[in-house]
Amino acid sequence: MSRFRKFSANPVVQIPASAYEAELKRGSIALRFPKALEAEFRRANLGYANVRARIWQSALLLAFALAAGYRLVGPGRGSWTVDVFLELVVLPPALLAMFFAAVIPALRHRYLQVSFPAGVVVAVALSVLVARAIGEGSTSALVFLTTYSLGVFSLMGLLFYEALWVGAACVVAFGLAGVAQGLPAERLAFDLALLAGITVMAASIAQGVERYNRRYFLERAVLGELADRDGLTTLHNRRAFDEHLIRVWQQGLRDRSPVAILLIDLDHFKNYNDRHGHQSGDACLRHVAQIVQGFARRPLDLAARYGGEELAIVLYQVTPEHAASLAEQLRSAVASACVRHRDSASTGRVTVSVGVAWIGTTLDCSPDDSVELADRALYAAKQAGRNCIEVASRAPAAPAAASVRLAVAS
């Protein structure tokens, strides 16, 4: 039996399911994603909801400013009552906190963290004020509370579960305040049922809207991933590689962490295509790409098709020794796959050369510098006879690159 590996010229290559695909495959869209994905959705949702949240918070602040102004200059001014305490002491900080979190760009990422507790405070205070107004003979005060409840679910920019808590706070606080205020049982029961009914209706609509938004977020992310994939190897494409490297570089600048790049080139690949045909060449490239994908396991690592028969891996926060060890394991894995290559005089099988660049991220160099360093290392590996790796490193304080040849197994 031949020791060389045989594979179909057109194998089915499975793209590893992403977190977005995994959620879509669950069927019903969950209203709470796994932690990392939930954080990403919340950031995206802030972008969707920011305009209406700003309008809502501005309108809410204006309405209470007018009410507080009337309280200060209208009849009964100067007296210290529960209403005055709620309107002038409790409500302003909560309303201002939500308003500033919605309109100030530097605070916008904290909007959900601010608006949820502040929204509960406003719900309780408003419920007490409305219950007291009804007790004093008002026939229309409940409109303010139902309007607030509707706005919480549709305009405030909260996610469903947070909005549900605020809506529930409205109902519970109004019921307790009504009992404390001594409202007639029939009137309290009717108003409470009306408020609860409107809250349930708004919650039902909000739940459907949020499921739609979450599905849209997942589907858009999946389409984005497909657009970032190379059609032949299913690895990320060159554009995705460039964009990811920039993001990782910026992360490295913040964390003062190094970045490593592996450029992988199939040895004598033109000769392989000439002898076996391009379909077999494509199958061989897909096979090697699957091996390469297995070496980009962590969240900030990425495997890509760099161009032609060149593949690449971005590694974040690794030591030079680890990057070199990983490159040697990759080289060995490809050689051990035993894919016949009759025009490879040295081994008779498909092998790769790997150029490794390890570079400390600083403002004095750029992502392009790291790619150039890896390219020089790859050229050195080819000059050294192929089927080997070369490592070039650049420490943050050293402007010159030092190239170190590592031991190679043929």
Question: What is the rounded distance in angstroms from the CA atom of residue 59 to the CA atom of residue 45?
Answer: 21
The beta-strand segments (E) located in 289-337 are: 302-307, 310-316
Same domain, 183 and 283: no
Positive or negative CA dihedral for 329, 331, 332, 333? Answer: positive
Per-residue confidence (pLDDT) for residue 72, from 0 to 100:
67
Residue 282 φ then ψ, to 5°: -65, -40
Element containing residue 360 per DSSP (H, E): strand 352-360
Q: Which of 177, 205, 226 is the last residue of a domain?
A: 226
CA atoms within 13 A on the CB side of 47: 6
Same domain, 110 and 212: yes
Question: What is the rounded distance in angstroms from the CA atom of residue 11 to the CA atom of residue 283?
Answer: 7
pTM beyond cutoff 0.85: no
Residues 6+ apart with CB under 8 A from 346: 385, 386, 387, 410
Q: Which of 329, 233, 354 is nearest to 289 (CA)?
A: 233
Same domain, 198 and 82: yes
CB atoms within 10 A of CB 3: 7
Q: Which of 195, 226, 257 is the last residue of a domain?
A: 226
Averaged pLDDT in 10-residue chunks for the chain of 410 residues = 48 58 87 90 89 92 82 60 85 94 91 95 95 89 93 94 96 95 93 96 95 93 86 90 92 90 92 85 90 88 92 93 94 86 74 92 88 94 91 65 38
Per-residue confidence (pLDDT) for residue 21, from 0 to 100:
86
Q: Which of 21, 20, 48, 24 is nearest to 36 (CA)?
A: 20
Q: Which of 166, 194, 226 is the last residue of a domain?
A: 226
- How far does Cα 330 stand from its chain's mean position? 29
Per-residue confidence (pLDDT) for residue 410, from 0 to 100:
34
- Residues 291 and 266: beta-carbon distance below 8 Å: no
Structural domain that includes position 119: 19-226
What 3-state class would DSSP assign to 41? helix
Same domain, 102 and 188: yes
Per-residue confidence (pLDDT) for residue 374, from 0 to 100:
94
Same domain, 215 and 249: no
Per-residue confidence (pLDDT) for residue 75, from 0 to 100:
58
Per-residue confidence (pLDDT) for residue 80, from 0 to 100:
61
Per-residue confidence (pLDDT) for residue 404, from 0 to 100:
40
Question: What is the rounded distance in angstroms from the CA atom of residue 221 to the CA atom of residue 204?
Answer: 26
Same domain, 356 and 255: yes
